Chains A and B, each alone.
Chain A
Amino acid sequence: MSAAAEDAVTEAPAAVEAVPKRAMTLGTGTSLVILAALLVTPMFVKNFVVFQMTMVMIYGIAVLALNILTGGSGQFSLGQSAFYALGAYTSAVLMENFNVNYALTLPIAGLVSFGAGYLFGKPALRLSGIYLALATFALAVAMPQLLKLHFLEHWTGGVQGLTVMKPDAPFGLPLGQDKWLYYFTLAISLAIYIGSVNLLRSRSGRAFMSIRDNEIAASAMGVDVAQYKTLAFGISAGITGIAGGLSAIVVAFVAPDSYTINLAIALFLGMVVGGVGWLPGSFVGAAFIIFVPNIAESISKGLSGAVFGVLLFLVIFLVPHGARQVAIVAQQMLGKLKKN
């Protein structure tokens, strides 16, 4: 139905009410300071903290992927854990059964997940809002079972999962496994982050945002809604797949139980806490889903779930726009200080 409209209009106009560029990212100065801090920190902390930071970045990439989908194109997904699992298993199976170099498995994991996401996006297109969320929810629920399938067991290790060899630093670099994987993950996170920022600033990104803001207006302006919606799904799935692949390498183990619906909900939660549509917030959200359960546990073991709920409620109640809101407030205060 929108095809005729798209044929008639030749040029895609700027999206309606697109979030201004500066509101989507951090300023160059701030970004460089954070990058420098990320580069130096591992030298001073224990290996397990380096491992935790690596996990934050990996979950951060996955939350970022969801952010592109939801914050960018306005589609909901509770099925990100399925693409994460797909990426993780692709990497693990390639490394263990086919002896592929771990770095090479990542683009393949990304491509496989992109394909799966794109194909899933096709039929899911007809759904929107909560219905789409439910369809993706079904995907997340089905994934652990699919991974247990008997005829795949030869490769996936079935219910027992698959142990992966952790790679050493290449070229004889004087880095432990943890530190090497940290910098490796940092490089990939950086590449994905810059790529995503540019994607959302590009013509395709504007098309995503126009769909998010008003689908009918977007199609009237010549945006191929169907095409861009599936594309957003595919890209989001692909990036999630890369995050999954990284997690398989860093954790050195994959099992169906690692990728349950809980993971999908955690990623969704990370996005909301970080601020929907604000890309740097993805990493703040990831830190939330990793560290806050630990805090909750230290408050009360028996009630850790309830304490986590209370903390989450406080965050949503006090800063409904998540880390983005905190960042804006901080920026304003800094501005005032400068003026004085």
Chain B
Amino acid sequence: MSATRRTVAFGAAVAAFVFTSTTALAQKKYDTGATDKEIKIGHIVPYSGPASAYGVIGKTEEAYFKMINDNGGINGRKISFVSYDDAYSPPKAVEQVRKLVESDEVLVVFNPLGTPSNSAIQKYLNAKKVPQLFVATGATKWNDPKHFPWTIGWQPSYQSEGRIYAKYLMKEKPDAKIAVLYQNDDFGKDYLKGLKDGFEGKASLIEESYEVSEPTIDSHIVKLKATGADVLISITTPKFAAQAIKKAAEIDWKALQIVANVSASVGSVLKPAGFENSQGLLSAAYAKDASDPQWQNDPGMQKFFAFLDKYYPEGDRLNSSVVYGYGAAQTLAKILEMCGDDLTRANIMKQAANLKDFTPDTLLPGVKINTSATDFAPIEQLQMMRFKGEKWDLFGDVISGEVGH
């Protein structure tokens, strides 16, 4: 018995020794933008210009980091969040990002918004070896760790969402005549590609495109009805999605309508379009809709609402961009925490590619963030949903729409 005790004591001593020596080994390592007291995060988003509606993402994230700082920061370090306006203009994005990296000397550039702006800064940031972390665009090209090891996405790609709709339709309505209305830009074209890849040539799509500058898309809906299609896939941004739903109801077009996730907000799309016109609508989601009553008592969303009340009371909780900013900021906080005292840019990318089943408060149950050294697409899952009454009913399994599967 004494022998056992001695062994235990010895074991404890060894453990204590190993423990102290490892902490001694894990020295603090910093790159530009990180110190014992502070971590500097750079950010760009359009606060002005045509896409200024997305500016609330920046404001939400700023508020989120204020909350983090009030609660003691991350591993004892405060977050300094430097956010600039790029007005959705690629040359301006380059200017502002260079200012962040060369003048403000930030550790990472986090959540820059828009495909054009991100394309413009990608080469620069990768050449400088500065993380382009969790870009706010659904283009598929951000998942390319081989060529751009310093760029990583966040939300599901438009293409994977397109594939999910194609899969669903092939299974549920194989004989449907399908019309597609899409926005003529990178967003619309990427979706369309996903849809086409999903159908693998087994369905012919009636395509119709509109420009963002058009005041109304009513005429496109009338035209599509005339083709006799019985499914309408609406790859539209919120304003146009609401118009499409309303117009289809007005002209009594009873097609099954699928609306892209970006426009699935109850508060900003379906309510203005009219709930009576939105019944039976289909979409897919990865995040909870703050305007949907079914999440009012959800623990994650309660945290989100508490945050809004205290740190961002002027924020519109029906705005899906607010939910988005919260989720993205939480993911950043998570990887900074995982980095510990090794706040080098290389380690940040390593940790960003090392997320295992991470679930921010605002994601749907079952949707998890997973990344690896070869998988730079954090959120890849979506769930189909049908609009009923005044809320979305989720149905079916959480589906992975990974591109290349």
Contacts and interface: CB of A to CB of B under 8 A. Distances in A.
Contacts of A97: none
A46 interface: yes
B95 A55 contact: yes
B272 interface: no
Nearest to B184: A148
Nearest to B139: A160
A163 B124 CA distance: 11
Contact of B47 (A47, A163, A290, A302): A302
A163 B119 contact: yes
A159 B47 contact: no
Interface string B115-153: 110011011100000000000000101000000000000
A251 interface: yes
Contacts of A159: 184-186, 189
B103 A48 contact: yes
Interface residues of B, number: 39
Interface SS of chain B:
helix
Interface string A299-314: 0011011001000000
Interface in B76-129: 83-85, 87-92, 94-95, 98-99, 101-103, 115-116, 119-120, 122-124
A52 B116 contact: no
B363 to A, nearest CB: 28
Contacts, number: 100
A297 B84 contact: yes
Q: Of A48, A257, A262, A304, which is in contact with the most chain B CB atoms at under 10 Å from its CB?
A: A257
A293 B92 CA distance: 10
A51 B59 CA distance: 28
Contacts of B89: 257-258, 260, 262-263
B90 A252 contact: no
Contacts of B103: 46, 48-49
A255 interface: yes
Given A161-B116, A302-B59, A258 B91 contact: yes
Contact of A160 (B91, B98, B101, B186): B186
B389 interface: no
B119 A161 contact: yes
Interface string B195-231: 0000000000000000101000000000000000000
A217 B9 CA distance: 109
B48 A260 contact: no
Please indicate which of the listed interface residues B48, B50, B102, B141 has the most CB atoms of chain A within 10 Å of its own CB: B48
Contacts of A262: 49-50, 87, 89
B84 A48 contact: no
A51 B88 contact: no
B42 interface: no
Contact of B211 (A145, A263, A301): A145
A148 B182 CA distance: 14
Contact of A297 (B85, B122, B123, B211): B85
B378 interface: no
A255 B213 CA distance: 17
Given A159-B186, A304-B47, A257 B116 contact: yes
Given A148-B184, A148-B185, A251-B90, 11 more contacts: A46-B102, A48-B99, A51-B95, A51-B98, A166-B123, A253-B119, A257-B88, A258-B89, A258-B91, A301-B55, A304-B85
19 contacts: A51-B94, A51-B95, A141-B213, A159-B184, A160-B141, A161-B90, A163-B123, A166-B123, A255-B120, A257-B89, A258-B89, A263-B89, A293-B87, A297-B48, A297-B84, A297-B85, A301-B47, A301-B85, A304-B48
8 residue pairs, one from A and one from B, having the closest CB atoms: A48-B98, A48-B102, A253-B120, A159-B186, A255-B116, A257-B116, A305-B48, A258-B90
